[in-house]
Structure 1
Amino acid sequence: MWWHLYPLGFTGAPVRPATHDDTVVHRLGRIEAWLDHVVELGLNGISLGPIFASQTHGYDTVDHFRIDPRLGDDADFDRLVAAAHQRGIKVQLDGVFNHVGRAHPAFQQVERLGPDAPTAALFRFDRAGWRAGAPVSADVFEGHDSLVALDHSAPETADLTVAVMNHWLDRGADAWRLDAAYAMPPSFWASVLPRVRERHPQAWFSGEVIHGDYPEIVRASTMDSVTQYELWQAIWHGITDRNLFELAHALKRHNDLITTFVPSTFAGNHDVTRLASAVGADFVPHAMAVLLTVAGVPSVYAGDEYAWTGVKEHRPGGDDAVRPEFPATPPPADDTVHLHRQLIAVRRRHPWLLRVHTDVVHLANQQIVLRSATGDGAVVTALNLADAPATLPAAGATQPAAGQGQLTGAEITLPARGWAVLTS
């Protein structure tokens, strides 16, 4: 179970290129001060956003083998990994292998030498139309001119990716998030991941996939998991639109996925408006109750456990509000932190929730009762979005585990905007 953070913002590193140079500033250590907080939440992994040398926001990489000087150096990375492992915390890195920044030395060679550059095979560009001294007409990622796409049909790109992954797994990383995996052919990953697993058989790989045939993508790519954006969207829309039928529909699809793989689940991340701003602080518990009682490998976006707010805007700097600098040490635990601890504790006590079928026992626009069960027991999640109390079936549950509500026989009465997790 991951605690996901965006290191450049978290540590207060400057993001815009005009405000930094290659001077090494040892900021990565600021994350260490939060590791005990991760353990106290009950989580056992940190999923780091980009930490390799880049031009601006981390996704325009210029050196995959170097820690971004705004964050520190290899020694800082080694200390962070050691401190995490001492606490039983795994470390996941963000692998940006779909594209690089225009300042990447490999692309700069292409700009100087064109098709004759030793690194030309790494990129997709108009070879026939290039003339010395002219800009290179290269493919870019989703219209972002600063992000030059790699050629994933080239063996050289696969070799680079394998080398980068093995380098950081050798240094102690445990897992990789594969950024923009949806933009790359599954066959590329099928040519890369088995080679990495030969050296690191315990490594875990989760791809960022927004939509599509998840099971087929996992099968064809050999990835262990992909991001479950359908469930994320259904949690948000179900709550904000007061239409829990959307959540029920998404859970049917979610159940089908579990027969093939265990998806990477989340209610917030570094690319979207913060959870408390999206659904309202009163409904953060409802969203997290669903996330932590259905199947998947869940992650908590750092700061969501405090119900911090922030709205993503589609403009330069529009991610800043959802990727803020964090305090040097964790603030005192508040009610939202305590509810996260409660819900994560439920999941730790019932590890079979990793791969469990969830039934919808009761459904209305503003109320839902979910039952996730195996032969080892059941976890029941009841939500009430309405501004009035609601009495719902307890689905055989006999013990309150988190939340609020009055359990009476076969029913649970929730207060207005209430929720509860029960066990049997």
Structure 2
Amino acid sequence: MRFEHTILWHVLPLQATGAERTAAEADGVRHRLPRLLPWLDRVVELGANGLQLGPVFASETHGYDTTDHFRIDPRLGDDADFDRLVAEAHGRGVQVVLDGVFNHVGRSFERFRAAEAGDPEAARWFRREGDGWAVFEGHGHLVALDHDEPAVAEHVIAVLRHWLDRGVDGWRLDAAYAVPTAFWRTVAAAIRESHPHAFLYGEVIHGDYAAFAAESGLDSVTQYELWKAVWSSLNDANLFELSHALTRHAALVDAFVPMTFVGNHDVTRIASRLTDRHHLEHAVVLLATLPGHPLVYAGDEVGLEGVKEEREGGDDAIRPVLPDAPADQPGDPAVLALHQRMIALRRRLPWLVDGRLEVLETANTRLRFRVARRDGAEAVEVVLDLDGGQIDGAALEAGRGWAVLRA
């Protein structure tokens, strides 16, 4: 399967299945991954065709402090549970993307334990800062790998290949911005040789996205600038901010196809971020019609709320446990229906993924933009009117204060 037209639904397995907060609390292998099987029906019902899993490898706590990249976290299950999830996803036409944490590891990572014990070969895997080990952004339990060490690149390549061989289709590379682009280029080149259709994208928050993509050799990076402009411009009734971001986004799409989103596991949910809940419609329309690889964070498709807080446990509200089945999930059916309508539209217009984007009209509360096929054979115009005004034209889809029009 090709990734080009994949629309991702993103879930964090440890948190979504109610796993223990720490590996130390767990008692043996707990087969929780099968709890996600009914949610494959939500992916299909939504109209998406990709499942992005948060970390599934053995870790100390939340999954981003990996201790063994080759082992499924016992709190989630084992290889058989994982293989079944991948097989059932593929059986529904759903691709699977894994989250790989390769900037840092947990302190129980075997090579780090050896380094602490004085093994000089193991010590070469980790960066030093002064008299101690370097850590990730001040988190003492996340030990930074040394990406100048060839053995680290060999390890990452081996991990990616191992799980690609088991059937996964792509990788999200966590904290990619903290890793030298030369390292990613080495890794990406190796993966291209063995798995040419694997999709690799990096988490990049700030900076020159196009340069990072080009220098790293990755297929894509996250488009945080667009995410911020969406909710900020809607809250402030200042669509000039969004217009500016769209012009910049158009230039990015000429270089590569960015990963687009209005919510993810690291930020306050879009339904809570927006001061006027009606603007959820505008955010969903933008996600569905703008060029990019769209990602929907689990729960956003039914308008769940949750505020991220900068404290211990501050992610809990945005990373809730999923009920046993989608039918048991609270939420707004109208928000789900809108997601379904707009994703269906995008599936009918697959060329939107890398369409040519042009802003046609901008005012504080009104914006019109055009997205055209690269060959010019088709185009649509999208109009947002934050005042809820009437929008004239031959609408492919329309709601209160927005429309997607035949161009």
Q: TM-score with structure 2 length normalisation?
A: 0.94
Question: What is the match of residue 83 of structure 2?
Answer: 78
Q: Any gaps of 5 or more consecutive residues in structure 1?
A: 130-136, 405-414
Pair 1:273-2:268 in alignment: yes
Instruction: Determine the C-alpha separation between the residues in 2 that align with 1:171 and 1:52.
Output: 14
2:10 to 4, 12, 25: 4
Pair 1:323-2:319 in alignment: yes
Pair 1:52-2:57 in alignment: yes
Question: What is the match of residue 412 of structure 1?
Answer: none
* Count of residues paired in the alignment: 395
- Preserved contact between residue 218 and residue 261 of structure 1 (Cα < 8 Å): yes
1:36 to 41, 49, 52: 41
Pair 1:95-2:91 in alignment: no
Pair 1:302-2:295 in alignment: no
Alignment of 1:220-239 (within 5 A): 220-239=215-234
- Preserved contact between residue 23 and residue 59 of structure 2 (Cα < 8 Å): no
Identify the range of structure 1 (233-242 vs 180-189) with the bigger mean alpha-carbon deviation.
233-242
Instruction: Determine the C-alpha separation between the residues in 1 that align with 2:371 and 2:196.
Output: 31
The alignment partner of 2:48 has SS state of coil
What's the offset of the Cα at 1:242? 1.4
Question: What is the match of residue 132 of structure 1?
Answer: none
Report the AA paired with residue 74 of structure 1: D
Instruction: Determine the C-alpha separation between the residues in 2 that align with 1:72 and 1:285.
Output: 38
Identify the range of structure 1 (168-177 vs 34-43) with the bigger mean alpha-carbon deviation.
34-43
What's the offset of the Cα at 1:204? 0.5
Instruction: Determine the C-alpha separation between the residues in 2 that align with 1:34 and 1:353.
Output: 27
- Preserved contact between residue 23 and residue 75 of structure 2 (Cα < 8 Å): no
The alignment partner of 1:331 has SS state of helix
Report the AA paired with residue 9 of structure 2: W
What's the offset of the Cα at 1:379? 2.0
- Preserved contact between residue 2 and residue 300 of structure 1 (Cα < 8 Å): yes
Question: What is the match of residue 423 of structure 1?
Answer: 406
- Preserved contact between residue 207 and residue 225 of structure 1 (Cα < 8 Å): yes
1:259 to 251, 254, 261: 254
The alignment partner of 1:390 has SS state of coil
Superimposed CA distance per residue, residues 6-55 of structure 1 (whole angstroms, 9 cap, x where no aligned partner): 1111111122456x235111111111101111112111100111010000
Pair 1:139-2:134 in alignment: yes
Question: What is the match of residue 378 of structure 2?
Answer: 377
Question: What is the match of residue 367 of structure 2?
Answer: 368
What's the offset of the Cα at 1:380? 2.2
Report the AA paired with residue 423 of structure 1: R
Superimposed CA distance per residue, residues 225-270 of structure 1 (whole angstroms, 9 cap, x where no aligned partner): 0001111011011111211111100000001011111011111000
Instruction: Determine the C-alpha separation between the residues in 2 that align with 1:39 and 1:303.
Output: 15
Superimposed CA distance per residue, residues 167-199 of structure 1 (whole angstroms, 9 cap, x where no aligned partner): 100101100001000001100011111112211
Q: TM-score with structure 1 length normalisation?
A: 0.90
Question: What is the match of residue 356 of structure 2?
Answer: 357
For the pair shown, the structure with the greater C-alpha radius of gyration is 1
Instruction: Determine the C-alpha separation between the residues in 1 that align with 2:86 and 2:23.
Output: 28
Pair 1:111-2:113 in alignment: no
Report the AA paired with residue 125 of structure 2: L
Instruction: Determine the C-alpha separation between the residues in 2 that align with 1:218 and 1:61.
Output: 25
Identify the range of structure 1 (241-250 vs 73-82) with the bigger mean alpha-carbon deviation.
241-250
Question: What is the match of residue 411 of structure 1?
Answer: none
Question: What is the match of residue 123 of structure 1?
Answer: 126
What's the offset of the Cα at 1:420? 2.2
Q: Any gaps of 5 or more consecutive residues in structure 2?
A: 1-6
What's the offset of the Cα at 1:377? 2.0
State the identity %. Answer: 54
Report the AA paired with residue 384 of structure 2: L
Instruction: Determine the C-alpha separation between the residues in 1 that align with 2:359 and 2:280.
Output: 20
- Preserved contact between residue 339 and residue 403 of structure 1 (Cα < 8 Å): no
The alignment partner of 2:37 has SS state of helix
2:244 to 249, 264, 271: 249
What's the offset of the Cα at 1:111? 1.2
**Structure-2 change in CA distance of 1:328 and 1:102 (3 Å):** same
Instruction: Determine the C-alpha separation between the residues in 2 that align with 1:277 and 1:321.
Output: 11
Instruction: Determine the C-alpha separation between the residues in 2 that align with 1:126 and 1:269.
Output: 32
What's the offset of the Cα at 1:391? 4.2
Instruction: Determine the C-alpha separation between the residues in 2 that align with 1:219 and 1:172.
Output: 27
- Preserved contact between residue 281 and residue 307 of structure 1 (Cα < 8 Å): no
Instruction: Determine the C-alpha separation between the residues in 1 that align with 2:382 and 2:18.
Output: 38
- Preserved contact between residue 63 and residue 104 of structure 1 (Cα < 8 Å): yes
Instruction: Determine the C-alpha separation between the residues in 2 that align with 1:225 and 1:343.
Output: 23
The alignment partner of 1:359 has SS state of strand
Instruction: Determine the C-alpha separation between the residues in 2 that align with 1:376 and 1:14.
Output: 53
Instruction: Determine the C-alpha separation between the residues in 1 that align with 2:312 and 2:146.
Output: 27
Identify the range of structure 1 (320-329 vs 363-372) with the bigger mean alpha-carbon deviation.
363-372
What's the offset of the Cα at 1:118? 3.2
